[in-house]
Amino acid sequence: MGTKDSEEFRNALEDIACHAHKLDSPFDRVRCVEWCRKLASFSDEDLESCKLKNEYAQLLRIQVRHNFLHGPFVTPPPESSKLCTLSECLGNIMANQIPYLPRIGPMSPVVHHKSPDGRAYVSAKQIPGGGVFCYMAVSPDGLKCNAKH
């Protein structure tokens, strides 16, 4: 994982730690710790794993700051080492609460790459039903692209 991703995750965990004691329910405080441990157990070497744990950590951070856990954080993290993407998880939670919505399956991966000097960024995602959506940003004048992973 890049240093930016590591720092972002570390900052989220620090912020969660600073606010977790304010959660009203002792069960929520325990659940918060369980999720933090689970997210911290994921490898820093795999880009998809890093992205996944950062997404969950940022959502948990927002919830803890507002003193209320909901969504995936009301239950213990799964025992397996594999978490589904946050979008898939939230989609399935909505589908469970609204019976006529279909369950969400695995999401197509998004390919993205930023050049080492930060001057170019490209992202591609498969469009359901066929096709590919591509985005590219290039900054030839030395200004760095502000696209996020």
For the stretch 8-65, pLDDT in tens is 899 999 999 999 999 999 999 999 999 999 999 988 887 778 888 999 999 999 999 9
Residue 95: CA count within 13 A, CB half-sphere: 11
Q: Are 103 and 95 in contact (CB under 8 A)?
A: yes
pTM of the model: 0.68
Cβ contacts of 15 within 8 Å, gap of 6 or more: 61, 64, 65
> Which residue in 82, 78, 110, 106 sits closest to 92, CA to CA?
106
Integer Cα distance of 146 and 149 in angstroms: 10
The per-residue pLDDT for range 87-128, each reduced to its tens digit, is 888 878 887 888 776 666 665 666 667 777 777 777 777 777
Segments making up each domain of the chain, as ranges? 3-97, 108-149
**What is the separation of C-alpha 33 from the centre of its chain, rounded to a whole number of angstroms?**
17
Integer Cα distance of 16 and 70 in angstroms: 15
